[in-house]
């Protein structure tokens, strides 16, 4: 019985303990729920803030201290649990509600924070200050008709006092003005927002959202958005922070809040990562602005219109702007997007990296696209597939301009920067200023590209593309182009650089500078102007203007003060400078001005009309031109043109199957070749030719003006038939001969052959001659000079009397040596002779009369002289 009673007592005690624990837990929970909103009641800090319950899960904050249109609240701690709502009462006449947290803990907003009441939202702007940090949870929401600012600043500055969290002061009796700044302390803490959700039609399910036209401002310390949603339709979203003590100024423009960050104060970082969305949607105007040291956008979307990130539809009147102002790096990576509809994008930073991500501005049906401006001190990198910067005109509105100013611009592995037009509007221009520009590499879908373009079906013009740099490199398929595929015109391409290198091919893409007109439109290609010290085009790369349709080909103008090197091939791709037509439009001209032009190893400089369009003309002005298995060609299948002019040359050197050709196919007339050079040299038996031939039409004219032509011979049609042993017109090609030939023939009709005109300057017969005396003059002949030896054969001219040996290798055999003859040189120099030379010939200048190949295989021009190498001559 005792045991039974003891068991009953034990059970009663256990039950009492369970009840006590439950009561304590419930009390603790209730106490915690209430303590999450704890007004600061300390002396000199008590602002008469009260917390009341509107419903089991809804609290309202009342009371506070009112000064004019501003209502002040002070809390020791401020937290909102999940599934709970807290609303600040909005009395009549109140436009701004300022709340501070003076305790030591961060604020955690896990539920709903609002102004007014659930049934009647207030319009006052709400400020929340907690220097210990602020966390917005995945279910956090804003429910207000005004703007919202959250900051980890120590205080709000007014004209002559501070609303401080760390050193609270009594509220002055008269407060008239709005706050003018946010004062940050020694170690500003972070603002963190975690999670949010947008449904399939683009509506925010969770996240921080303000009403249309209002501002959403987060100012740290660091600002970290992870899977977050921030929305301010037609309003402003501003993110940023300081990393050390300083003041961020507050400005109210048209009643809307703007931040002004100080210079010389270290900024904190902004992280927008893992699917975050920062959006201005459904209304016109507004902006997104980020002020930070480093800004990291990863797998997230920042958009000033409900356009690119959420939906593919473009709407009018969405003119929001986007601005990054970073003292460090901006990194936009992992499929992120920063976009505006009609608004501008402005990025100022130390560097910008865009990796598999997009920076774009577009138009609606009638709205003009905004501009993209990027200014960085170090570099801009646009990398990998689907990484691009663009400004697009989709309707009747015009596209925006893109301007990039940086130390080094690197576009790699499919990255692109472009402006385009797809409708009636014009595309914008693209302007690059950088110390170095690199465009290199391809992926299966895209090659790296700088371009302005119009798409098929459009009627607008493409924009101009201008690059100013110290060094430009396009490699491994990198493309720099202006293109029209519609009825509008392609833009001009202008490059000003100290050094330009175009190298290689990737698949079907050739590294290039070009302007193109597509096959399905009527638009014409643009002008390409290259101004540089040195231009290198290697391994299948190309500089080109081309039309493939009805439009005209552009004009290619290349000026290189030092040299132009065009060399090599890759597969069937030959390194090329060209103006080409493969459609019905006429090809453009090519004009080259340089110190030295080198075309070798299968490369070419050409103007071509390969279809109904006539070829243009090729004009070259250079100090020297070297063709070493290289070609200068002009070819046409229809119409006239296809002329070549080489002028102001010191020397033209041809070797190893080089070719200068103005060729006409079908029944077109051959073009003309005009060469003005001091010296023209072709290495013997290397099959280098100059031709102005036509197939069935009239042959052209080859006109050469030169002081000396070495190694080349004119050939008539008859001579070709004889040397080639055929009269088959298709076989009458001087390139089938090993010799170096000059021709201007009609392959089909001998009566239509052209002509070869070679002009050399008039020669004064007295130049370089010496008048001989009428009377014999003695010349001594040495009897001690040995005959024979291993000397090469030379020439000996004997003037006067005295006889000759029977062989130049034997001494004179007579016993009497006549001494009445002088050499011509002795005669001219003799002071005893009253006669003088007819012409004084400067000994320091000698005209080249021959050439030789040195040990390195280089051709050297020489004056023709004796090949005897030493003074032990036969006659003295």
3-state secondary structure labels for all residues of 792-817? CCCCCCCCCCCCCCCCCCCCCCCCCC
CA 833 to CA 820: how far, in whole Å? Answer: 14
Number of helices (H) and strands (E), helices first, in the chain?
3, 69
DSSP conformational letter for 76: E
**Spatial CA neighbour of 497 closest among 406, 559, 542, 545:** 559
- What is the average per-residue pLDDT within 325-332? 96
Confidence check: pLDDT of 830 > 50: no
pLDDT value of position 364: 65
pLDDT value of position 280: 77
How many other β-carbons are positioned within 10 Å of the β-carbon of residue 454? 34
How many other β-carbons are positioned within 10 Å of the β-carbon of residue 336? 26
CA 461 to CA 185: how far, in whole Å? Answer: 54
In degrees, rounded to 5, the angle at the alpha carbon of residue 439 between the alpha carbons of residues 346 and 472 is: 95
**4 assigned to some structural domain:** no
Per-residue pLDDT band for 642 (boundaries 50, 70, 90) equals: confident
pLDDT value of position 504: 98
Tokens of 580: 């080409």
Max avg pLDDT among 171-175, 483-487, 861-865: 483-487
Confidence check: pLDDT of 645 > 90: yes
Confidence check: pLDDT of 21 > 50: no
**Spatial CA neighbour of 252 closest among 147, 174, 379, 175:** 147
**649 assigned to some structural domain:** no
The percent of residues in the chain predicted with pLDDT above 90, rounded, is 60
Q: Which of 118, 139, 171 is the last residue of a domain?
A: 171
Per-residue pLDDT band for 599 (boundaries 50, 70, 90) equals: very high
- What is the average per-residue pLDDT within 444-450? 93
Per-residue pLDDT band for 319 (boundaries 50, 70, 90) equals: low
- What is the average per-residue pLDDT within 863-870? 49
Q: Which residue has the higher pLDDT, 352 or 837?
A: 352
Confidence check: pLDDT of 791 > 70: no
Q: Which of 141, 171, 201 is the last residue of a domain?
A: 171
pLDDT value of position 613: 72
The percent of residues in the chain predicted with pLDDT above 70, rounded, is 79
pLDDT value of position 768: 46
Q: Using an 8 Å Cβ cutoff, are 737 and 764 in contact?
A: no
**Spatial CA neighbour of 301 closest among 347, 359, 343:** 359
Residue 490, Cα to own-chain centre: how many angstroms? 18
Confidence check: pLDDT of 761 > 80: no
CA 331 to CA 239: how far, in whole Å? Answer: 16
Domain enclosing residue 790, as ranges? 775-810+818-828+870-876
CA 519 to CA 516: how far, in whole Å? Answer: 10
**788 assigned to some structural domain:** yes
**117 assigned to some structural domain:** yes
Lowest-confidence segment of 274-278, 599-603, 763-767 by average pLDDT: 763-767
Q: Using an 8 Å Cβ cutoff, are 440 and 414 in contact?
A: no
Lowest-confidence segment of 135-144, 190-199, 380-389 by average pLDDT: 190-199
**351 assigned to some structural domain:** no
**139 assigned to some structural domain:** yes
- What is the average per-residue pLDDT within 236-254? 95
Per-residue pLDDT band for 845 (boundaries 50, 70, 90) equals: low
Q: Which residue has the higher pLDDT, 873 or 260?
A: 260
Q: Which residue has the higher pLDDT, 152 or 170?
A: 152
**E strands, 476-571, in order:** 479-484, 493-503, 505-506, 509-510, 512-517, 528-538, 542-547, 556-567, 569-570
* pTM recorded for the entire structure: 0.82
CA 678 to CA 110: how far, in whole Å? Answer: 87
Confidence check: pLDDT of 873 > 60: no
Lowest-confidence segment of 293-307, 328-342, 400-414, 808-822 by average pLDDT: 808-822
pLDDT value of position 383: 97
Confidence check: pLDDT of 140 > 80: yes
Tokens of 155: 């205080």
Lowest-confidence segment of 337-341, 534-538, 588-592 by average pLDDT: 337-341
Alpha helices (runs of H) in 758-823, residue ranges in sequence order: none
Confidence check: pLDDT of 566 > 60: yes
pLDDT value of position 799: 53
Q: Which residue has the higher pLDDT, 163 or 279?
A: 163
Q: Which residue has the higher pLDDT, 496 or 700?
A: 496
Secondary structure (3-state) at 823: coil
Q: Which of 171, 203, 222 is the last residue of a domain?
A: 171
DSSP conformational letter for 666: T
Confidence check: pLDDT of 25 > 90: no
- What is the average per-residue pLDDT within 491-509? 97
Tokens of 140: 């956090």
**E strands, 195-307, in order:** 197-198, 204-206, 208-209, 215-220, 223-226, 229-231, 236-241, 246-253, 256-260, 270-273, 277-279, 287-292, 295-298, 301-303
Confidence check: pLDDT of 808 > 90: no
Q: Using an 8 Å Cβ cutoff, are 337 and 301 in contact?
A: yes
Secondary structure (3-state) at 432: strand
Tens of pLDDT, residue by residue over 48-101, are: 999 999 999 999 999 999 999 999 999 999 999 999 999 999 999 999 999 999
- Looking at every residue in the chain, the average pLDDT score rounds to 84
Lowest-confidence segment of 610-614, 638-642, 761-765, 784-788 by average pLDDT: 784-788
Confidence check: pLDDT of 425 > 60: yes
Tens of pLDDT, residue by residue over 187-197, are: 999 999 987 66
Q: Which residue has the higher pLDDT, 767 or 349?
A: 349
Count how many domains the chain has: 2
Max avg pLDDT among 193-197, 514-518, 598-602, 822-826: 598-602
Q: Which residue has the higher pLDDT, 173 or 17?
A: 173
**163 assigned to some structural domain:** yes
Confidence check: pLDDT of 677 > 90: yes
Q: Using an 8 Å Cβ cutoff, are 805 and 788 in contact?
A: no
Strands 505-506 and 741-743, by their bridges, are: unpaired
Q: Using an 8 Å Cβ cutoff, are 375 and 352 in contact?
A: no
CA 328 to CA 336: how far, in whole Å? Answer: 19
CA 506 to CA 328: how far, in whole Å? Answer: 35
Confidence check: pLDDT of 625 > 80: yes
| DSSP bridge pairs for 85 | 58, 112
- CATH code for the domain in which residue 162 is found: 2.160.20.10
**74 assigned to some structural domain:** yes
Residue 622, Cα to own-chain centre: how many angstroms? 29
Confidence check: pLDDT of 610 > 90: no
pLDDT value of position 660: 97
């Amino acid at each position: 019985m005792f045991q039974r009673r003891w068991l009953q007592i034990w059970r009663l005690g256990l039950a009492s303990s369970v009840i006590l624990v439950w009561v304590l837990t419930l009390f603790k929970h209730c106490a915690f729920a209430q303590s999450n909103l704890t007004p600061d009641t300390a002396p000199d800090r008590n602002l008469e803030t009260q917390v009341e319950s509107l419903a089991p899960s809804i609290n309202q904050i009342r009371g506070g201290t009112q000064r004019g249109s501003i209502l002040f609240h002070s809390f020791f701690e401020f937290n909102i649990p999940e599934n709970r709502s807290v609303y600040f009462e909005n009395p009549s006449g109140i436009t701004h509600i300022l709340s501070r947290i003076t305790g030591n803990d961060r604020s955690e907003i896990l539920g709903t924070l609002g102004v007014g009441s659930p049934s009647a939202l207030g319009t006052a702007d709400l400020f929340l200050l907690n220097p210990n940090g602020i966390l917005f949870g995945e279910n956090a929401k804003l429910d207000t008709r005004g703007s919202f600012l959250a900051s980890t600043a120590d205080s709000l500055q007014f004209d002559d006092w501070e609303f401080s969290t760390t050193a609270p002061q009594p509220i002055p009796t008269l407060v008239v003005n709005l706050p003018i700044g946010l004062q940050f302390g020694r170690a500003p803490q972070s603002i963190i927002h975690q999670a949010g959700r947008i449904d399939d039609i683009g509506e925010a399910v969770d996240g921080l959202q303000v009403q249309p036209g209002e501002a959403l401002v987060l100012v740290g310390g660091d600002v970290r958005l992870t899977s977050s949603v921030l929305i301010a339709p037609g309003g402003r979203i501003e993110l940023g922070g300081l990393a050390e003590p300083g003041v961020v100024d507050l400005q109210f423009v048209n009643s809307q809040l703007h931040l002004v960050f100080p210079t010389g104060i270290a900024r904190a970082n902004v992280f927008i990562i893992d699917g975050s969305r920062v959006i201005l949607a459904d209304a016109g105007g507004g902006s997104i602005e980020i002020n930070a040291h480093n800004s990291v956008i990863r797998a997230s979307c920042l958009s000033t219109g409900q356009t690119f990130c959420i939906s593919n539809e473009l709407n009018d009147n969405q003119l929001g702007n986007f601005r990054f102002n970073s003292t460090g790096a901006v990194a936009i990576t992992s499929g992120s997007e920063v976009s505006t509809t009609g608004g501008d994008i402005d990025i100022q930073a130390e560097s910008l990296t865009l990796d598999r991500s997009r920076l774009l501005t577009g138009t609606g049906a009638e709205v003009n696209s905004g501009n993209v401006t990027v200014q960085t001190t170090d570099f801009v990198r646009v990398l990998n597939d689907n990484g691009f910067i663009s400004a697009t005109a989709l309707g009747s509105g015009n596209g925006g301009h893109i301007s990039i100013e940086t130390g080094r611009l690197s576009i790699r592995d499919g990255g692109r920067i472009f402006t385009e037009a797809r409708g009636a509007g014009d595309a914008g221009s693209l302007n690059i200023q950088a110390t170095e520009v690199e465009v290199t590499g391809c992926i299966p879908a895209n090659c790296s590209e700088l371009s302005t373009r119009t798409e098929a079906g459009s009627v607008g013009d493409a924009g101009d593309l201008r690059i100013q740099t110290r060094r430009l490199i396009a490699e491994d398929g990198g493309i720099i182009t202006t293109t029209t595929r519609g009825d509008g015109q392609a833009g001009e391409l202008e490059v000003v650089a100290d050094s330009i290198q175009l190298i290689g091919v990737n698949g079907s893409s050739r590294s290039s500078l070009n302007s193109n007109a597509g096959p399905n439109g009527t638009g014409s290609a643009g002008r390409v102007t290259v101004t540089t010290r040195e231009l290198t085009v290697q391994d299948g790369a190309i500089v080109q203007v081309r039309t493939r349709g009805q439009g005209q080909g552009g004009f290619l103008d290349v000026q290189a003060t030092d040299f132009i090197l065009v060399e090599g091939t890759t597969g069937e791709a030959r390194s090329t400078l060209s103006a080409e037509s493969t459609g019905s439009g006429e090809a453009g001209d090519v004009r080259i001005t340089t110190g030295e032009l080198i075309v070798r190893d299968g490369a070419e400089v050409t103007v071509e009309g390969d279809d109904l369009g006539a070829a243009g003309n090729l004009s070259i002005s250079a100090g020297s031109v070297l063709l070493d298995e290289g070609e200068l060609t002009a070819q046409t299948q229809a119409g006239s043109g296809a002329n070549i002019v080489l002028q102001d040359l010191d020397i033209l050197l041809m070797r190893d199957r080089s070719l200068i050709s103005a060729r006409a196919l079908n029944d077109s007339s051959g073009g003309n070749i005009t060469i003005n050079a001091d010296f023209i040299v072709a290495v013997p038996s290397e099959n280098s030719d100059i031709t102005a031939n036509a197939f069935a039409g009239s042959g052209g004219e080859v006109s050469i003006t030169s002081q000396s032509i070495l190694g080349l011979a004119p050939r008539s049609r008859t001579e070709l038939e004889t040397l080639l042993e055929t009269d088959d017109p298709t076989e009458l090609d001087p390139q089938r001969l090993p010799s170096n030939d000059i021709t201007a023939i009609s392959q089909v009709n001998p009566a239509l052959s052209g002509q070869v005109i070679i002009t050399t300057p008039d020669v004064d017969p007295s130049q370089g001659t010496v008048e001989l005396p009428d009377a014999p003059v003695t010349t001594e002949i040495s009897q001690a000079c040995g005959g024979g030896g291993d000397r090469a054969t030379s020439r000996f001219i004997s003037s006067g009397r005295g006889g000759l040996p029977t062989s130049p290798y034997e001494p004179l055999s007579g016993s009497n040596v006549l001494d009445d003859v002088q050499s011509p040189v002795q005669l001219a120099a003799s002071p005893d002779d009253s006669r003088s030379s007819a012409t004084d010939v400067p000994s320091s200048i000698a005209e080249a009369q021959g050439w030789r190949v040195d040990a390195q295989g280089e051709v050297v021009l020489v004056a023709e002289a004796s090949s005897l190498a030493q003074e032990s001559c036969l006659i003295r």
